[in-house]
Amino acid sequence: MLKTQLASVIHRFGTSTQKVLVVGDLTLDEFVTGAVERLSREAPVVIVRHEQTRQVPGGAANALENLASLGVQTIAVGVLGKDRQAEALRGLLEARGVITSALVVDDQRPTVTKTRIAAHARQSVTQQIVRIDRKSDAPLDPAIEAQLLDHIRTWLPEVAVVVCSDYMEGVLTPAVIALCLEHPYVIVDTHLQLDRYQGAALFTPNVPEAELAAGFAITDPGSLQRAGAELLRQTRARQVLITRGELGMSLFLATGEQYDIPAFNRTQVFDVTGAGDTVVAGWTAAHLSGGTPQAAAILGNLAASIVVRRFGTSSTTPAELLEHLEQLTWTPDWML
């Protein structure tokens, strides 16, 4: 029964004409990989022979990528620099069918770029050595903020869901947040200060973020339940979904219910980068397809269990979800 119900939701992915507005900190993720040759004579570091450079959407752009992969029509709102990284990121999003007309160019700041350099030796797995970040810590220029607000006002009446993907890079200013919250269904994925988004529909913190917001450690079922209740109180949300890594995730509803979902993949976890964006995308696609909050949480969990098997930020598809759904052996003690 569970698989049949979830499969029915997945089959509706991509059939809706409803659009999603993603507002947030767009990032270009670069993955430079190579083989370790020897130690350098110049410094105590390894010399890596370059094999491949891969560029993929990261940050809020990864949320856009994941939504598009699940068949959701998306509009990107964010800030890019005037550089080759911006050209690459815009091209990647447009290739996925993401509407990019609401992207604002700021020639005074670089496109946020995270370059991960990874290497492998003979008969060994690839491992990250160092990450290089390009970014600006300067506050958003008022003129740039005004352009963002204009774009959000234009699109707000046209979309079914607003996703605030807040990586604390400056796009989600108080004015931008306030305008986003005028929409009736806002999903928030932020690392800090959840209470800035009071009144949003859904929050998706991980355990460290939930602990920071609640003010105490989550160590057992009792503290988990208290944390869920505290976050609902602080945010005035309809739902809080705490992602718990190898322990799965727990969904808390404002009506008082709690639903615990186990991890569907504990043994093949290779890279958790961007998995939170995948959870948000899975939830959103399920919500647009008529799924209940419980179904949306399960499918977000299932989607994340797929992408963590790959190196770097990644996305999944409805076909992959259906394939992995068939392998699911868990049956909840509650109904969808």
Hey, which residues are catalytic here?
A: 277
Q: Which of 132, 112, 103, 100 is nearest to 58 (CA)?
A: 112
Q: Is 200 helix (H, G, I), strand (E, B) or coil?
A: coil
DSSP states along 110-153: PPPEEEEEEEE-TTS--EEEEEEEE---SPPPHHHHHHHHHHHH
Distance CA 111, CA 108 (A): 10
- What b/e sequence results for 72-89 when a residue is b if at least 16 CB atoms lie within 10 Å of its CB, and e otherwise? bbbbbbbbbbebebbebb
DSSP states along 224-281: HHHHHHHHHHHH--SEEEEE-GGG-EEEEETTS-EEEE--S-SS-----TTHHHHHHH
Distance CA 9, CA 284 (A): 12
Tokens of residue 324, six digits = 């992995």
Q: Is 192 helix (H, G, I), strand (E, B) or coil?
A: coil
Distance CA 108, CA 136 (A): 9
Q: Is 335 helix (H, G, I), strand (E, B) or coil?
A: coil
Contact 120, 36 (CB under 8 A): yes
Q: Which helix (H) or strand (E) holds 164?
A: strand 161-166
Contact 299, 6 (CB under 8 A): yes
Contacts of 22 (CB under 8 A, 6+ apart): 60, 63, 64, 67, 74, 75, 76, 77, 78, 162, 163, 165
Distance CA 285, CA 249 (A): 18
